[in-house]
Structure 1
Amino acid sequence: MINIEVQNFSYKGSASAGLHDISLHIKDGETVLLCGASGCGKTTVLRLINGLIPHYYRGELNGRITVNGIDIPSAELYDLASIVGTVFQNPRSQFFSVDTDGEITFGTENIGIDPDEILKRKSEVVNELELKPLLGKSLFELSGGEKQKIACAGVSALMPDVMLLDEPSSNLDWKAIEELKKVIKHWKAKGKTIIISEHRLWYLKNLIDRVIYMKDGRIEKEWNKAGFNSLTSDELCALGLRPTEIEEKYIEEFGRGIFSTENIHPCSTLSSESRITLKDMFFTYKPQKYFIKKKKLNAADSADYTLAIPELEIPRGKVIGLIGKNGAGKSTFLRCLCGLEKDCTLRLTSDEETVSGRKILKKCYMVMQDVNHQLFTDSVEAEVMLSMDNEDKDQAAKIIAELGLAGYENTHPMALSGGQKQRVAIASALAANAEILLFDEPTSGLDHAHMTSVADLLTELAKKGRTIIVSTHDPELISLCCDHILCLEKGRLKYMRKC
C-alpha cells in the first residue's frame, strides 16, 4: 500500500529539520501510530504520503514514496485527493466553506463527481458518522470536536483508501475524543489504511496495529500493539512519550470531581491584596440591534449572550485551570479578558486600578489556540523579541533555551512543527511581561517532556507574582501546575474551586 524509502529530506531554509534514512512499509488496511517528541519528523512523514512534500512544502528530497503504486512526488495533488485523505491538527485550516453541508461536499464537488453521487456520498457519511444534528450549521458556531467531525466527514466523502490524521485529539475534550475514536473504528472496519501522528496515546492503544517511534528524523523503534501496550509509564516517559495510563486514571478518578460539580468546595474568601476582580463580563457574537447609541449588555437580559459572568474574583499569583467541554466558552472568555473582543463590557480591577476596553490589552497577553495567527517574523529570536518593550537578546536566548528551542533561533517559525510553534508563542508571552498571562490549550501538540516544561514554567511565573489562566483539556497539566479550577458551561460560570 504505502512504501517510503527516503535517504534524506530537508525543508527549504532549514538544514537540520527533516528526515534521514527512512524505510517504512505500511500494509493495506493497517492502522499505524507515529509517535515521538515534537519535531521528530512525524508530520513530515504524513506530508510525504499526501504529497504536500514536495508540492507545497519545498525542500531537498532524496528518495521514493509510492501509494498504491503511484509515485507521489511526480503525481498532481488533485489526483491524490481520492487516494489519500488528511485531517489536519487544526481542522479550520482545511475548511473552504462556511456551512457544514457545503464543507462535507466541497471535496467531491471540487474533483467533479456527478451531483447524484455527491448527494449519495453525503447521505452515507452523515449516517455513518452520526452528523444529522450538525447539518445546516455555520462552521463558525461549531465546537472544536464538531469541527473535527466535519473535517473527517469531508475526507470520508472522497472515499480515499488512505486516511492520515495529524494530532487529531490535541484540542479535544474527552467526549469529543470518544467521538473521534468512533470515526477511526468506522474507518478501520471499512478496511481503510490509517496513519495517525499523535502525542495523546491513551485513546489509541486498542485501535492501532503497529507503532512507529521517531527521533531526530529517524525511525528508532517499532512495536506491534501488544508490545507497545506492555510498555510501562516509566519506559514511555524515558522515550519522551505521554503515559497511556495517566489520562485514563484522571477520567476515572476525577471525572466526577474536577470535571463536574460534585463535591465542589468553593474557594475561600480572597483578601483584597490577593485578587483580581472581573465585573460585567458580557459578550455575544450575535449582531446587536441599536440605533445611534449601542445597547449596554448586562445581567438583566443575558440569556442569549455567548458569555455572561456578572462578577468573578481570580486569585493573584496563581495558576488557574480553565476547563469545560468544547464549545463551553473558554476561548471566548480568554479573548474577552485580554481585550480582543471590543464589544465585551468587562471591567478589570487590580491593585485598586480599574481598566476596561483597550487598556485591558496592557494588562494581559494571550497565547492563542491556533498559534499561526500570532507568528509574524522571520526567525524565532525576532518573534520573541517582538513582544519585549526593550529588545534583550540575552533574555530572549534564555527563554528560548528554557522552552527547548535552542538551536532554532534563526529558523523561520513557519518551518517548525506544530508543537515547536506553540512553544515559540509561549516564549513570546513570557517575553511580554504582562501581569496576567492567558494560555489557550498551550500543551496541545506537545510531547511529555515539553508539557512538563510548560507546567514548570507556568508554576515559576506564578511564584514570581504573575497570574496565569490556562484553558486546557489536559489532566496532566492540571495535576502538575494548577492551583485552582475555573469551570465554564455554555458561557456561564459553573464553579471555581481549589485543586
Structure 2
Amino acid sequence: MITFDAVSYTYPFQSTPAVRDLNFHVAPGEAVLVTGASGSGKSTIIRLLNGLAPWYFQGDLQGKVSVNGHDNRLRPIHGISRDVGTLFQDPEQQFFALNVEDEMAFAHEWRNTQPSLMQHCVQVAMEQFGITSLAGASVHHLSEGQKQKVALASVMSLAPRILILDEPSANLDPDSTAELAKTLLELKQAGMTLLIVDHRLYWLREVVDRVIIMEKGGIAEITDYCRLDECTLQFHYGLRCTRVDDVRASLSNVDDANPYIDVQELHFAYRRNPPLFHGESFRLPRGEIIGLIGPNGAGKTTFARLLTGLQKMDRGSIALGGEKVSTRELLRRTSIVLQNTDHQLHMKTVRSELNSAAASSHAGVRSAEVEQLLREYQLEHLAERHPQSLSGGERQRLVIACGQIRQPYIFILDEPTSGLDGENMAIIADNLTRFASQGGCVLLISHDLELLQRACTCKLELGAPAEKDILKVS
C-alpha cells in the first residue's frame, strides 16, 4: 500500500537532506506510528506521502514513494488525494469554508460529487464524529479540539484508502483521545491503512502494529510498540512515556484562601451563542502551577483570553495582587502563550524577540535576565537565528521564555506541549516549576496527561458545555 524505496528529500535552498535513505513498507490495513525527536523528519514523511513534497514544496526527491502501486512523482496531488487523506496538526490549515457544514461539503463539491451522495457522505461522517450539532457553527468559533474533529470528519467523508494523522491527540481531551483511539482501531479493522505521527505514545498501545523511530532525518529503528516501554529507548531517542497515569482526579482543587488573582462574577458569551460564564468567581494563589482542565468546548481558552485582556468581559471584575485592573492593564501585567506560536513571533532574531518582550514588561527587566532565560530554555546557541527558522519545539520554548521574561502576575499557557517530544516537554515543565517556586502564578491549560503529572500542583476544573454530543468521537 505504501512503499518508500531509498528515499531522500532536500527542501529548496537547503544543502542538507531533511530525510535520507528511507526504506519501509506499510501493508494494507496496517497501522504504523512514526515518532522521534522534534526535527527528525516526521513531517517530511507526511509531505512525501500526500504529495506536498515535491509537488508543492518543490525540492529534490531521490528514490521512489509509491502509494497503492503508483509512483507519487507521476501523479498530481489531486490524484494522490483520492487515495490519501491527511489530518494536519493545525486543522485551520485545511479549512476553506466559513461554517462546519460548508467545510464538510467543500471537497465533495470540488470533486463534482452528486448532491444526494454528497449529503449522505457528509451526514454519515458528522454523526460518526459527533459534530452534528456544529453544522451551522463558524469554524473560527470552535475550540481547537472541535476544529480537529471537524477536519477529521471532512477527510473521512471522502473515504480515503490511507489516512495520515499528524499529532492527532494534540488538541483533544483525554476522554476524546480514548474515543479517537477506538475509532482508529475500528477503521484499521475495516481495512484502512493508517500512518500516525505523534509524540504522545500512551494512547496508541492498542492501535498500532509497528513503530518507526526517526533520528536526524533517518530511520533509527523499526520495531514493535512493546519495545517503546524500555526506558533506555525512551531516553536515547527523547521519546515520551508509554504509560501515563490520569492525574485529573488525584490533583487537589485550587486553594482559594489567599487569592493572588481574584475574578468576581464573570459574565461572557460570544455573539449569538449561549453564555460560557454566567456569574462564576475564581480565586487563584501564587506559587502554584494550576492545571485548568475540562472537556473540549468548556471555555478554557476563552477564560485565558478574559484573564489576559485579549477578550473583554461582558460583566465582572479582575483583581491582581489585591488591585482591580482594567482590560488594558491586564494586557500589560499578564502573559499568555497561545496554541499557535507563529501568532506571537514578530522579530528577526531570537534575542530581539526576547528583548522586545522584556521591553513590554510592567516591571524593569535587565539584559542579564534575557541571557539567563536564553540559557534556561536552551536557546543560547540560537540567539541570532530567525524565529521562523526554528523547529517547532524551539519556537515553543522561545514563546514561553518571552512570556516569562515579562514577569507577569499570572502566566497562562494554552496547550504548550502539543507536538513536543519528551525532551522539550521536560525543559518546559522544569522551567515553569522554577518560575512558580519563585512566587509566580501559572495557569496551565492542557490535555497532556504527562505534563499535568509532571508539573501541576493543583487544578481548576471547568464543566462541560450544554451540547454534550460535540465532545465525543463515536
Normalised-by-shorter TM-score class: 0.7 to 0.9
CA offset digits 1:396-454 (Å, max 9, x no partner) = 55534433445544554444444343223213212333332110011111112221211
State the partner residue of 1:168: 168
- 1:236 is the counterpart of 2:267: no
Kept in 2, the 8 Å contact 1:337–1:346? The answer is no
Kept in 2, the 8 Å contact 1:43–1:417? The answer is no
User: Bigger CA drift: 346-355 or 164-173?
Assistant: 346-355
Cα distance, 1:265–1:110 mapped onto 2, change above 3 Å: closer
CA offset digits 1:302-327 (Å, max 9, x no partner) = xx422235432211232211111111
State the partner residue of 2:189: 189
- 1:374 is the counterpart of 2:344: yes
Query: In the aligned structure 1, how far is the partner of 2:393 from the partner of 2:16?
Result: 17
Q: In the alignment, residue 31 of structure 2 is paired with which amino acid?
A: T
- 1:269 is the counterpart of 2:267: no
Structure 1 stretches of 5 or more lacking a match? 259-263, 289-303, 493-499
Query: In the aligned structure 2, how far is the partner of 1:224 from the partner of 1:326?
Result: 32
State the partner residue of 2:327: 357
Query: In the aligned structure 2, how far is the partner of 1:2 from the partner of 1:68?
Result: 6
Kept in 2, the 8 Å contact 1:379–1:413? The answer is yes
Cα distance, 1:23–1:383 mapped onto 2, change above 3 Å: farther
State the partner residue of 2:469: none
Q: In the alignment, residue 242 of structure 1 is paired with which amino acid?
A: R
Kept in 1, the 8 Å contact 2:255–2:284? The answer is no
Shift of 1:476: 2.4
Cα distance, 1:359–1:192 mapped onto 2, change above 3 Å: same
TM-score normalised by length of structure 2: 0.87
Cα distance, 1:120–1:478 mapped onto 2, change above 3 Å: closer
State the partner residue of 2:92: 92
CA offset digits 1:235-289 (Å, max 9, x no partner) = 434432122212xx32xxx45444xxxxx6662622xxx623223432211269x
State the partner residue of 2:471: none
Query: In the aligned structure 1, how far is the partner of 2:201 from the partner of 2:349?
Result: 32
Structure 2 stretches of 5 or more lacking a match? 467-474
Equivalent residue runs for 1:9-158 within 5 Å = 9-12=9-12, 18-73=18-73, 75-158=75-158
State the partner residue of 1:436: 410
State the partner residue of 1:301: none
Cα distance, 1:413–1:55 mapped onto 2, change above 3 Å: farther
Query: In the aligned structure 1, how far is the partner of 2:301 from the partner of 2:350?
Result: 25
Q: In the alignment, residue 328 of structure 1 is paired with which amino acid?
A: A
Kept in 2, the 8 Å contact 1:165–1:195? The answer is yes
CA offset digits 1:51-109 (Å, max 9, x no partner) = 22223335444443222233324532222221211001122321222222222221121
- For CA contacts below 8 A with separation 6 or more, give which structure has more relative contact order: 2
Kept in 2, the 8 Å contact 1:34–1:211? The answer is yes
Query: In the aligned structure 2, how far is the partner of 1:74 from the partner of 1:412?
Result: 36
Query: In the aligned structure 2, how far is the partner of 1:279 from the partner of 1:400?
Result: 37
Query: What is the count of residue pairs matched by the alignment?
Result: 462
Shift of 1:366: 0.6
Kept in 2, the 8 Å contact 1:211–1:228? The answer is no
Shift of 1:169: 0.2
Query: In the aligned structure 1, how far is the partner of 2:254 from the partner of 2:391?
Result: 40
Kept in 2, the 8 Å contact 1:78–1:111? The answer is no
- 1:305 is the counterpart of 2:303: no
State the partner residue of 1:453: 427
- 1:466 is the counterpart of 2:440: yes
Q: Secondary structure at the match of 2:107?
A: helix
CA offset digits 1:187-207 (Å, max 9, x no partner) = 212312210001111111111
Query: In the aligned structure 1, how far is the partner of 2:58 from the partner of 2:9?
Result: 10
Cα distance, 1:25–1:381 mapped onto 2, change above 3 Å: farther
Query: In the aligned structure 2, how far is the partner of 1:384 from the partner of 1:51?
Result: 37
Q: Secondary structure at the match of 2:435?
A: helix
Q: Secondary structure at the match of 2:450?
A: helix
Shift of 1:376: 2.5
Q: In the alignment, residue 107 of structure 1 is paired with which amino acid?
A: A
Query: In the aligned structure 1, how far is the partner of 2:17 from the partner of 2:380?
Result: 13
Cα distance, 1:398–1:108 mapped onto 2, change above 3 Å: farther
Cα distance, 1:21–1:489 mapped onto 2, change above 3 Å: same
Query: In the aligned structure 2, how far is the partner of 1:464 from the partner of 1:266?
Result: 18
Cα distance, 1:217–1:392 mapped onto 2, change above 3 Å: farther
Cα distance, 1:136–1:462 mapped onto 2, change above 3 Å: same
Kept in 1, the 8 Å contact 2:266–2:279? The answer is yes
State the partner residue of 2:470: none
Query: In the aligned structure 1, how far is the partner of 2:347 from the partner of 2:410?
Result: 24
- 1:327 is the counterpart of 2:297: yes
Query: In the aligned structure 2, how far is the partner of 1:397 from the partner of 1:40?
Result: 28
State the partner residue of 1:223: 223
Percent of aligned positions that are identical: 34
Cα distance, 1:195–1:305 mapped onto 2, change above 3 Å: same
Q: CA RMSD in A?
A: 2.9
Query: In the aligned structure 2, how far is the partner of 1:420 from the partner of 1:32?
Result: 27
Equivalent residue runs for 1:329-344 within 5 Å = 329-344=299-314
Shift of 1:31: 0.9
